[in-house]
Amino acid sequence: MAKSKKDRIKPQLLKGFRDYPPAEQIARQKMMDTVRAVFEMMGFLPLQTASLEFAETLLGPHYHEDSLAELFGFRGPDDTDMALRYEFTVSLARYVAANPTLPLPFRRYQYGNVWRVDKPGPGRFREFTQFDIDIVGTRNLLADAEIIAAMVTTFEHLGIENFKVRYSTRRLLNGLMEWAGIEPARAQDVMRVIDKLDKQGREAVVLELGLGRVDQSGDTIKGVNLSAAQIGRLEKFLDIAQAGGSEAVAEIEGLLGKIDESKNGIRQLRDIESYLESMAVDPSRAEVDLTIVRGLGYYTGPVFETILLDLPQYGSVFAGGRYDNLVDRFSSTSVPGTGASIGIDRLLAALIELGAVETEPATSKVLVTVMDREKLPRYLAILRELRLSGIPAEIYSGDTRNLTRQIKYGDRARIPFAVIAGSDEFESGTVTVKNLAAGRAKAMKTADRDEWLKAEEIQETIPADRLIAYLKRHLNM
């Protein structure tokens, strides 16, 4: 009995969540397969941690109900406070602390969904996919260079030509604050303003370092009220930093003068640059950018981010840095680490815009049509032969025997080829192969759909024993 209207459920999604249709999900999977292959080639190991964690694991031991509400948190079985993970690093720290015999350095990659309660907006969701790599258990900057090399290699394997991995170090910014005479209590506010350089421009940053400015909407942006002398020193730094290149490192070294190396970070940048050169990483694809400011309360050393030069509006699509306090929440043992994370959805959108991925919704390469139900075992034998030969294939399982409808299904599903066999073909030991992909190309030039469905140039009758070789040749398998 049909449900009454009031008993029907509206097919709607929660705010901040989304579905991934087959075409997009196939493209995501292919992209992630490429990324995973690069990481494994470079010796990273797969790790999957639990989606739900104890609340204190994610928030620390002194959390309260308000902070639990900032996550997808709730009281679970056995009166246990728990929450969905909002990133992977905390879970990695928990795993490392719980496995003291783990061989270090530990190179791991992890991908999966994370959840954040943040207000959703364009391109911002409450559930999204991350793909991380990390090397933990070493302070050797070779690990940071390996992360950068992995970032460059990933984009090369994804077929992206115009990109740049930019790197710097938090130590240099600490040294800059000391040289400019900015007290530690105000340093983070100043760094946050410098971080706006790419989005807001030089003039806006300089105004905000002083008394403040009025933005394009008319809102007043409060300044950090530095003195003219302090702003002058920061502008001198920006002049050098924005010029870029290895030469900038030498100039900044001269500028900072006697600031202690543990603060100025020059040696860190030179070591990373040397390691990358020895690994033959193209210097035009990974270079120092002294204006990078990332994770002020999180990163402790080198930081890095990737931008797509043809799509700068996407911002950073693969970024990270060094954090030398990984397991502080769980252990008194020091375990440093470095790593980076890919924003999968943002990167996929960019790849689609660049035309670097296909968005065909089909996994099948061949549709076996069914014209005679009595000969179904023979159609299934063709299907089995295709699959055993490594050709992804499906048989039409609908109710109609109308060939035109079956071909239209294959076309809508974006399947490249259809195999057709009726009584004549079975008697003569032949099959007809219809190139649906070529037909779709022809359809763009042909107004009459039935005309292209019958077009001879997009189909060919061949001996049945040549079917596999024929398809593999046309599918480039």
What are the chain's domains?
A: 22-49+85-354 (3.30.930.10), 366-474 (3.40.50.800)
Residue 140 main-chain phi, psi, to 5 deg: -65, 125
Lowest mean pLDDT among 257-261, 267-271, 322-326, 381-385: 257-261
At 224 the three-state DSSP class reads: coil
Angle CA(443)–CA(444)–CA(445) in degrees, nearest 5? 85
Alpha-carbon radius of gyration of the chain:
29
Q: What is the mean pLDDT of residues 38-61?
A: 95
Task: Supply the mean pLDDT for the chain.
Answer: 89
In this model, does residue 455 exceed pLDDT 60? no
Q: What per-residue confidence (pLDDT) applies to 447?
A: 55
Q: Please name the amino acid found at residue 236.
A: K
pLDDT, residue 192, reads: 86
The span from the CA of 439 to the CA of 460, in Å, is 13
CB atoms within 10 A of CB 217: 5
Give the pair of three-digit tokens for residue 197: 């350089």
The residues facing 167 across adjacent strands are 288, 304
Q: φ, ψ for residue 128 (rounded to 5)?
A: -155, 170
Tens-digit pLDDT profile for residues 186-201: 888 888 888 888 778 8
- Read off the pLDDT of each residue in 68-77 and give the average, rounded to a whole number: 89
Q: What is the pTM of this model?
A: 0.87
Q: Which residue has the tokens 């350095």?
A: 105
Q: At 36, which amino acid appears?
A: R
Q: Residue 461 corresponds to which tokens in the numbers above? A: 């009758």
Query: Is 387 strand, coil or helix?
Result: helix
**CA–CA gap between residue 299 and residue 89 (Å, rounded):** 12
Please state, for a pLDDT cut of 90, what percent of the chain lies above it: 55
The band of 297, judged by pLDDT with boundaries at 50, 70 and 90, is low
Q: Provide the 3-class DSSP secondary structure of residue 380.
A: helix
